[in-house]
Structure 1
Amino acid sequence: MRIEEALAAGAPPIAAILRGIGTAESAAIAQALVEAGIRLIEVPFNSPDAAGSIAAMIEAVGDRAAIGGGTVVTPAFAETLAQVGGTFMVSPNVDPQVLSRSSELGLDLLPGFLTPTEAFTAIGAGARDLKLFPGSVLGSAYIKAIRDVLPTECRVWAVGGVGAANLAEYRAAGAFGIGVGGSLYKPGYDADTVSAKAEELVAAWNASEA
């Protein structure tokens, strides 16, 4: 499943960032997220076995969720991601070479940016979705300001320091979606813990207004 398919099926634009997850727990955590309403799942490539975890999640919930890879900072990571069946890439930076290779492989692009120059470089490389990272450094006011100069079809996702407590603020400022890591999942969290946190996050999103 791709990002657009998950969104069209009614999933909120919330990406779960599962940094440090182990392969053995991947299927159970992914199932807990999907059942709680989160259907965009990212496994960063600096996790113990990102490729194995992504493959396990795709086997478990790939028909109900978009599974992608994060911290994709080299073309080789993009190639590995595509080989195991991931459908979207997320990066902390803008590297035209990495974006070009990811696009060639048919991956959805979600590169990280901080400045207008980086945003427009990513757009020039074919990205529609842009990850403001770290989102908490400049805050929601920055999203509102930068949205004024970005193409209207671009979608900004706030990542880093954004969660249930403050997502309404970012959404009101023009953020299309959010990515949530440590407040949703940390190594050691079991499926029940993740499920409860995911349900709280989805409820907060549904209660907020764009």
Structure 2
Amino acid sequence: MASVFLLSPASCSGLRAHMILRPGAASLLARRLREPLGAPLGEVYTFLSGLYFRGKLAYARAFADRPEHVLVITPTAGLRPPDTLVTLDVLRGFARVDIADGSARFRRPLLADARTLAAGLGADDEVILLGSIASPKYVDVLSGVFGPRLKFPAAFVGRGDMSRGGLLLRCVTARTALDYVPVAGATRRGARPPKLPPLPRRVVQAGE
């Protein structure tokens, strides 16, 4: 049984996005986005989202059986590998689409790519959504295609984005995957779980 991980998108219209989209932005990432090749989608989303997307990407790469089973949801380009190169113009196009309003520009490519992915899945394969199921913005599209094979980490319920990111990074460190439950019929909102314990500090040996 293989697990395909779908990572929810980062916001392309917040403060961090403005830092790299504004004219004259001089950070290394902003400069790379202005070059013809651009920068990897996973790196851009990690900057935009911080701990949450960093945790999702690290977790998916750690527990996917092969790299092509890690895909990122985008506002206008459906499902894309995290190594996909994006430019400033592409990112600006992402920022113009509000995925929460059910725009066809978001839903159509996502639906097409989800159907293509579903056609190539084995009978026992599962699709793991690393993202919120509290709103229908992408859950409805994905549930309609994958049905009971669409699952998510049960431990996500009740947690905020930062807590989810921290949880995922701890799982990577411990080499322990989370338990997944079907999105269909799942509790989408719940009580806030206890605060995560701090990550153990790495002891640096003399001479390192």
Larger radius of gyration: 2
- TM-score for the superposition, normalised by structure 1: 0.29
**TM-score where L is the length of structure 2:** 0.30
Q: Which has the higher contact order (CA 8 A, sep 6+)?
A: 2
